Amino acid sequence: MKTLFITIIFLAASAVAFGQEKSEAQKFFDNIKQHCGKAYEGKVTEGGRPGDAFSNGALVMHVRSCEDNRIRIPFFVGDDRSRTWVLTLENDRILLKHDHRHEDGSEDDLTQYGGWTANKGHENSQMFPADAFTCDLIDYGCNNVWFITINETEYTYNLRRIGTDRLFSVSFDLTKPIEVPPAPWGWED
Protein backbone atom coordinates (compact mmCIF):
# COMPACT_ATOMS: atom_id res chain seq x y z
CA MET A 1 0.00 0.00 0.00
CA LYS A 2 2.84 2.38 0.89
CA THR A 3 4.54 1.65 -2.46
CA LEU A 4 1.30 2.36 -4.33
CA PHE A 5 0.90 5.68 -2.49
CA ILE A 6 4.49 6.73 -3.30
CA THR A 7 4.00 5.74 -6.96
CA ILE A 8 0.81 7.83 -7.19
CA ILE A 9 2.54 10.85 -5.59
CA PHE A 10 5.50 10.48 -8.00
CA LEU A 11 3.23 10.23 -11.06
CA ALA A 12 1.20 13.25 -9.94
CA ALA A 13 4.36 15.32 -9.39
CA SER A 14 5.70 14.24 -12.79
CA ALA A 15 2.46 15.22 -14.50
CA VAL A 16 2.56 18.68 -12.89
CA ALA A 17 6.20 19.20 -13.87
CA PHE A 18 5.57 17.98 -17.42
CA GLY A 19 2.49 20.19 -17.77
CA GLN A 20 4.59 23.22 -16.90
CA GLU A 21 7.10 22.69 -19.70
CA LYS A 22 7.00 25.71 -22.00
CA SER A 23 6.54 25.26 -25.73
CA GLU A 24 9.16 26.50 -28.20
CA ALA A 25 6.73 29.25 -29.24
CA GLN A 26 6.31 30.39 -25.61
CA LYS A 27 10.09 30.36 -25.08
CA PHE A 28 10.54 32.45 -28.25
CA PHE A 29 7.87 34.86 -27.01
CA ASP A 30 9.59 35.10 -23.63
CA ASN A 31 12.95 35.76 -25.32
CA ILE A 32 11.46 38.85 -26.96
CA LYS A 33 9.49 39.92 -23.87
CA GLN A 34 12.67 40.28 -21.84
CA HIS A 35 13.40 43.33 -24.03
CA CYS A 36 10.05 44.99 -23.38
CA GLY A 37 10.37 48.75 -23.07
CA LYS A 38 13.75 48.82 -24.77
CA ALA A 39 14.76 50.12 -28.20
CA TYR A 40 17.64 49.07 -30.43
CA GLU A 41 19.28 50.36 -33.58
CA GLY A 42 19.70 48.06 -36.55
CA LYS A 43 21.20 47.77 -39.98
CA VAL A 44 20.26 46.05 -43.19
CA THR A 45 22.43 42.96 -43.51
CA GLU A 46 20.92 41.51 -46.69
CA GLY A 47 18.88 42.84 -49.59
CA GLY A 48 19.44 46.56 -49.18
CA ARG A 49 19.39 48.59 -52.34
CA PRO A 50 21.12 51.93 -52.81
CA GLY A 51 18.64 54.77 -52.42
CA ASP A 52 15.84 52.68 -50.90
CA ALA A 53 14.03 53.86 -47.76
CA PHE A 54 16.05 51.52 -45.56
CA SER A 55 19.35 53.19 -46.47
CA ASN A 56 18.22 56.77 -45.81
CA GLY A 57 18.05 56.88 -42.02
CA ALA A 58 18.34 55.10 -38.72
CA LEU A 59 16.56 51.76 -38.33
CA VAL A 60 15.06 51.40 -34.86
CA MET A 61 12.94 48.71 -33.25
CA HIS A 62 11.15 49.34 -29.96
CA VAL A 63 9.67 46.43 -28.01
CA ARG A 64 6.94 48.79 -26.88
CA SER A 65 4.03 46.68 -25.70
CA CYS A 66 4.11 43.24 -24.07
CA GLU A 67 0.87 41.55 -23.05
CA ASP A 68 0.39 37.90 -22.07
CA ASN A 69 -0.25 36.84 -25.67
CA ARG A 70 0.64 39.89 -27.77
CA ILE A 71 3.87 41.82 -28.40
CA ARG A 72 3.97 45.03 -30.46
CA ILE A 73 7.29 46.13 -31.91
CA PRO A 74 7.30 49.43 -33.81
CA PHE A 75 9.96 49.50 -36.53
CA PHE A 76 11.06 52.98 -37.57
CA VAL A 77 12.90 53.79 -40.78
CA GLY A 78 14.34 57.28 -40.34
CA ASP A 79 11.42 59.60 -39.56
CA ASP A 80 8.90 57.08 -40.92
CA ARG A 81 7.01 55.69 -37.91
CA SER A 82 4.42 53.77 -39.97
CA ARG A 83 5.41 50.15 -39.24
CA THR A 84 4.65 47.89 -36.27
CA TRP A 85 5.30 44.17 -36.06
CA VAL A 86 2.55 42.47 -34.05
CA LEU A 87 3.21 38.99 -32.66
CA THR A 88 0.26 37.07 -31.17
CA LEU A 89 0.72 33.79 -29.31
CA GLU A 90 -2.21 31.36 -29.48
CA ASN A 91 -2.29 27.57 -28.96
CA ASP A 92 1.52 27.31 -29.12
CA ARG A 93 1.66 29.05 -32.50
CA ILE A 94 2.53 32.65 -33.29
CA LEU A 95 0.87 35.03 -35.72
CA LEU A 96 3.00 37.79 -37.27
CA LYS A 97 1.14 40.79 -38.67
CA HIS A 98 2.52 43.98 -40.17
CA ASP A 99 0.48 46.97 -38.99
CA HIS A 100 1.07 49.91 -41.34
CA ARG A 101 -0.33 53.36 -40.54
CA HIS A 102 -0.38 56.81 -42.07
CA GLU A 103 0.88 59.77 -40.08
CA ASP A 104 -2.73 60.60 -39.07
CA GLY A 105 -3.07 57.11 -37.56
CA SER A 106 -5.35 55.68 -40.24
CA GLU A 107 -4.52 52.25 -41.68
CA ASP A 108 -2.56 52.04 -44.90
CA ASP A 109 -4.15 50.10 -47.76
CA LEU A 110 -1.39 47.49 -47.39
CA THR A 111 -1.63 46.47 -43.73
CA GLN A 112 -2.23 43.46 -41.50
CA TYR A 113 -0.37 41.08 -43.81
CA GLY A 114 1.68 38.21 -42.43
CA GLY A 115 0.98 34.67 -41.30
CA TRP A 116 0.99 31.96 -38.65
CA THR A 117 3.94 29.78 -37.77
CA ALA A 118 3.51 26.48 -39.59
CA ASN A 119 5.03 24.39 -36.80
CA LYS A 120 6.39 24.71 -33.27
CA GLY A 121 9.56 26.43 -34.44
CA HIS A 122 12.44 26.98 -32.07
CA GLU A 123 12.94 29.18 -29.02
CA ASN A 124 15.43 31.27 -31.04
CA SER A 125 13.67 31.30 -34.43
CA GLN A 126 10.20 31.21 -35.90
CA MET A 127 9.00 31.14 -39.53
CA PHE A 128 5.80 32.76 -40.78
CA PRO A 129 4.53 31.76 -44.25
CA ALA A 130 2.04 34.15 -45.83
CA ASP A 131 -1.59 33.54 -44.89
CA ALA A 132 -4.67 33.69 -47.14
CA PHE A 133 -5.35 37.31 -46.17
CA THR A 134 -1.88 38.25 -47.40
CA CYS A 135 -2.39 36.34 -50.67
CA ASP A 136 -5.61 38.27 -51.29
CA LEU A 137 -4.09 41.62 -50.31
CA ILE A 138 -0.79 41.47 -52.21
CA ASP A 139 -0.58 39.47 -55.44
CA TYR A 140 3.07 38.48 -54.91
CA GLY A 141 2.52 38.10 -51.13
CA CYS A 142 1.68 34.39 -51.33
CA ASN A 143 5.37 33.75 -51.93
CA ASN A 144 6.50 35.56 -48.78
CA VAL A 145 7.97 33.80 -45.78
CA TRP A 146 9.07 35.93 -42.85
CA PHE A 147 11.39 34.63 -40.17
CA ILE A 148 12.62 36.15 -36.96
CA THR A 149 15.67 35.03 -35.02
CA ILE A 150 16.73 36.14 -31.56
CA ASN A 151 19.63 35.29 -29.29
CA GLU A 152 21.45 37.05 -26.46
CA THR A 153 23.03 39.64 -28.76
CA GLU A 154 20.87 40.01 -31.88
CA TYR A 155 17.29 40.22 -33.14
CA THR A 156 16.92 39.69 -36.89
CA TYR A 157 13.82 40.24 -39.02
CA ASN A 158 13.91 38.57 -42.43
CA LEU A 159 11.75 38.31 -45.53
CA ARG A 160 12.33 35.64 -48.18
CA ARG A 161 10.25 35.70 -51.35
CA ILE A 162 10.09 32.08 -52.51
CA GLY A 163 10.80 31.55 -56.21
CA THR A 164 12.96 34.69 -56.41
CA ASP A 165 16.35 35.78 -55.15
CA ARG A 166 14.66 38.36 -52.88
CA LEU A 167 15.96 38.23 -49.32
CA PHE A 168 15.73 41.16 -46.93
CA SER A 169 17.27 41.08 -43.46
CA VAL A 170 17.69 43.72 -40.80
CA SER A 171 19.57 42.97 -37.58
CA PHE A 172 19.41 44.81 -34.27
CA ASP A 173 22.17 44.82 -31.65
CA LEU A 174 20.51 43.77 -28.38
CA THR A 175 23.64 44.57 -26.35
CA LYS A 176 23.25 48.33 -26.87
CA PRO A 177 19.83 49.73 -25.92
CA ILE A 178 19.19 53.23 -27.24
CA GLU A 179 16.85 56.04 -26.21
CA VAL A 180 13.21 55.06 -26.56
CA PRO A 181 11.68 56.74 -29.65
CA PRO A 182 8.31 58.54 -29.80
CA ALA A 183 5.13 56.56 -30.38
CA PRO A 184 4.49 55.08 -33.82
CA TRP A 185 1.82 56.66 -35.96
CA GLY A 186 -1.66 55.75 -34.74
CA TRP A 187 -0.60 55.23 -31.11
CA GLU A 188 -1.23 57.44 -28.12
CA ASP A 189 1.85 58.27 -26.06
The pLDDT tens digits of the residues spanning 73-101 come to 999 999 999 999 999 999 999 999 999 99
Q: Quick check: 89 and 173 in contact, CB under 8 A?
A: no
In a domain, 152, yes or no: yes
Q: What is the CATH number of the domain that holds 130?
A: 2.40.128
In a domain, 57, yes or no: yes
Range of the domain at 80: 37-178
| Number of folded domains that form the chain | 1
In a domain, 114, yes or no: yes
Is 0.85 surpassed by the pTM of this model? yes
The pLDDT tens digits of the residues spanning 7-39 come to 555 544 554 455 579 999 999 999 999 999 999
CA 34 – CA 63 distance, rounded (Å): 9
In a domain, 41, yes or no: yes
Neighbour-count burial of 138, counting CB atoms closer than 10 A to its CB (0-12 exposed, 13-18 middle, 19+ buried):
middle
Query: Which residues neighbour 64 within 8 Å (Cβ) at sequence distance 6 or greater?
Result: 36, 37, 72, 73, 74, 183, 184, 187
